[in-house]
Amino acid sequence: MINIWRQLPSSRLRADNFIRKDYLPGVEKIVQEFFQSSNALTVPIITLQSYTRSIISSVTGIDISQIMFQSSTDCDQWEARADGNGQVGVGLLVGSGGVIIADQLISFNVDSVELTNGDKVYPIDIFGHNSIGWSSRT
C-alpha cells in the first residue's frame, strides 16, 4: 500500500505596508495607492477540499484517489506533483491543467501507476500559477 497524501499548507506573497510619513507631499498618496492595488495581486493560495483515499494500491478498486482543490485567485495553469519536496516542476507529475476561476472546485485523480518510486509515502503538492507567479509551500 502507498500512502499518497499529506495535506500541506500553501503560502502567498503579500505586499506589506511600507508607507512612511516622511515622503514628500503627494508622493505618499501615490505610494499608498500602489500598495493598495498590489495587495489585491497575490500568488494563488491552493486549498485542499477533499480526497477519496489516503492509501492506494495497485489492486483494482483501491488504485485511484480523487483529489479536489480550489484556488484563491484566477490561475492560468496548475500542476500537482508527488514526491517533489514542495518545488514547482520537481517530482512526479500526477495532475495538471489550464485555467482555474477563483474558488472553482478542480478535480483530478492520482493513479497508483503514476507513483513509480516504489511503495512509500508520496506527499502531493498542488501549485497554481497566475501573472504574479506560482503558489508555494511553506
Domain ranges of the chain: 2-137
Residues 65, 95: contact at Cβ < 8 Å? Answer: no
- CATH number for the region 2-137 comes to 2.60.40
The reported pTM is: 0.69
Going residue by residue through the chain, which has 138 residues, state the pLDDT in tens, using 9 for 90 and above: 233 543 334 433 334 444 444 445 565 666 566 555 544 578 999 999 999 999 999 999 999 999 999 999 999 999 999 998 888 999 999 999 999 999 999 999 999 999 999 889 999 999 999 999 999 874
* Strand partners of residue 77: 129
